[in-house]
Amino acid sequence: MQPKKNPNADHSKNSSLYFVIGLTVILFFTWRAIEWKTYATVYGYEALNVDDDDDEDVPITEQIKVPPPPPPPPPAPEIIEVVEDEEEVEETVIESTETDQEEIVEIEEVEIEEEYDDVDVPFAVIEDVPIYPGCEGVKKSERRNCFQQQINKHIRKNFRYPDIAQEMGIQGRVYVSFIINKDGTIGNVRMRGPDKNLEKEAARIINKLPRMTPGRQRGRPVRVPFSIPITFKLN
């Protein structure tokens, strides 16, 4: 059975095209309506009256003139009194200090002895070094070496590593200084090291030094400072 409608007369096939064209036209008119602007025409003008603001009443002031102060009176002249010099001035007679040859008295030369009571003489420059026990029979020129050897021997003999320092792994060098007094005893022991326990052990070793023959400077006993490092090293 054939359709009754003519296919050429079918208007629905172009409906999409018509829809797009219609939508475009509507959007165009809508856009023009939104963008449409109107301007109000204003005729006339408003005059600005400037003359009213310029008219200001300036008060009239009168300047009062103050007369200047009067000049100060001139100073009164000083009155100079003349006093007659009635006092007599005694002339000072300067006698000559030169003496006659008969009055010259011979003055004997006085030898000033140097005092070494309170002077510390370093070990390196003292004339007679302190004598460590056992170095009495050594020559004078070799007593310095004998003294130092005996000090080192004493340190090795009495050396004892502190237990606390060993447990903590502390080691280092302690610098010890002391003074050999005029009676041969040891005094004024000072330490400087990395740990208090090492310093305490170094002081104990030095304080065990025996009494020595004191050092002498020009035949008199003097105090002699001496310093030595003590090394604490863990094996």
129/122 Cα distance (integer angstroms) = 9
The angle, 0 to 180 degrees and rounded to 10, between the axes of the packed helices 196-207 and 143-158 is: 120
235/169 Cα distance (integer angstroms) = 10
- Would you state the pLDDT for residue 33? 84
**Does domain 140-232 bear CATH number 3.30.110?**
no
Helix or strand or coil: residue 17? helix
pTM: 0.49
- Return averaged pLDDT per consecutive 10 residues of the chain, 235 residues in all: 56 75 87 75 48 56 72 70 56 52 52 60 90 89 91 92 90 93 92 92 93 91 93 86
User: What's the chain's Rg over C-alpha atoms?
Assistant: 61
- Would you state the pLDDT for residue 47? 45
- Would you state the pLDDT for residue 43? 46
By the 8 A CB rule, do 136 and 213 touch? yes
178/225 Cα distance (integer angstroms) = 6
Q: What are phi and psi of 167, to 5 degrees?
A: -65, -35
